[in-house]
Amino acid sequence: MLPERERHALREIEAELLASDPAFAAAFNGRTRRGLRRWNLLLVLSDVTAVVMLVVGLFARDAALVLWGTVCAGALVAWHIARAETTREAAQDGTTPAAGSR
């Protein structure tokens, strides 16, 4: 473990780096492009699942399946909107968006 003085110096360097070049600092924040791709894949699979639930529920005349498909679709629309806002804010800041928008 580092002494308190060295930890403080490292925190100051980190804050200075974040202030001077946030895009460069964001590249080292621990989030990888692979993680972003996984979240995108999860979102697409969720979209497909919601659509399949709706279609199968409509053809099978299963009200519960239609209801759950509709609820899932609504939640996914909210997720897409949140991701779009996060991406837009990140583009204005010059930083990369968080994975999956948490």
Read off the pLDDT of residues 57-82 as tens digits, 9 standing for 90 and up: 999 999 999 999 999 999 999 988 88
**Residue whose token pair is 């497909």:** 48
Average pLDDT value over all residues in the chain: 80
Q: What is the average per-residue pLDDT within 2-8?
A: 85
How many helices and strands in the chain, by DSSP H and E? 4, 0
Residue 31 pLDDT > 70 = no
pLDDT interval class at 101 (50, 70, 90): very low
Domain edges within the chain: 1-30, 32-101
CA angle 8, 26, 34 (to 5 degrees): 130
Dist CA 50 CA 52 (whole Å)? 5
Instruction: Specify the pTM.
Output: 0.53
- Half-sphere exposure of residue 99, counting CA atoms within 13 Å on the CB side? 14
